[in-house]
């Protein structure tokens, strides 16, 4: 009886340890996203937007990457390149049914509702059942640069976090 309790206790401890999170290795990107001009050339859309809220997560169903796909709504979108009526973001990663965070190893931070980001994205390619075609995709954190203290009503020259915004606007306008 004591052996059964010991095995059950060890199993429970292993379950708790596994909830820390898991990072999945991803193939090399064809685009060097830290080079904003290269990323902007690759992207169909470059914009500043506020992540409004998490909508839902689609769990792994045998298609696509072995990870959850999380969907977020976007608001206050200001396009710098391209323009579209879409307001949904697909983030590759999220929490599994067992509340374990599963993400690519270079994309360990989930979008934070209420925060502004500079997005460098393309539209989703509906190759599997979890991808909704009318959503922008984020696979690497370099596609989603946080803009600290961004002021939506101010121009680019009046921003507190001017480096990313000014750099991207100069590259895209020129």
72, 50 Cβ separation under 8 angstroms: no
CA–CA dist 75, 51 (Å, integer): 6
Nearest to 21 by CA among 112, 98, 111: 98
Specify the CATH number of the domain 31-173.
2.40.50.120
- Between 29 and 148, name the one with better pLDDT: 148
The model's pTM is 0.74
Percent of the chain residues topping a pLDDT of 90: 26
Band (102; pLDDT cuts 50, 70, 90): confident
What is the predicted pLDDT for the residue at 126? 62
Residues 6+ apart with CB under 8 A from 115: 50, 51, 146, 147
What is the predicted pLDDT for the residue at 82? 92
The partner residues of 90 in beta bridges, in order of sequence, read 71, 137
């Amino acid at each position: 009886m004591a052996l059964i309790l010991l095995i059950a206790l060890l199993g429970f401890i292993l379950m708790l340890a596994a909830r820390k999170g898991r990072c999945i290795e991803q193939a090399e990107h064809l685009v060097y996203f830290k080079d904003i001009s290269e990323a902007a050339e690759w992207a169909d859309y470059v914009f500043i937007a506020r992540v409004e809220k998490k909508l839902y997560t689609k769990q792994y169903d045998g298609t696509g990457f072995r990870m959850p796909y999380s969907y977020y709504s976007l608001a206050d979108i200001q396009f710098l390149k391209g323009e579209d009526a879409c307001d949904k973001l697909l983030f590759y990663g999220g929490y599994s049914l067992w509340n374990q965070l599963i993400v690519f190893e270079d994309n360990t931070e989930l979008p934070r509702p209420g925060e502004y980001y500079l997005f460098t994205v393309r539209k989703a390619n509906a190759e599997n059942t979890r991808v909704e075609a009318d959503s922008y995709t984020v696979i690497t954190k370099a596609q989603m640069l946080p803009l600290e203290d961004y002021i939506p009503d101010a121009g680019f020259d009046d921003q507190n976090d001017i480096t990313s915004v000014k750099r991207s606007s100069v590259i895209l306008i020129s």
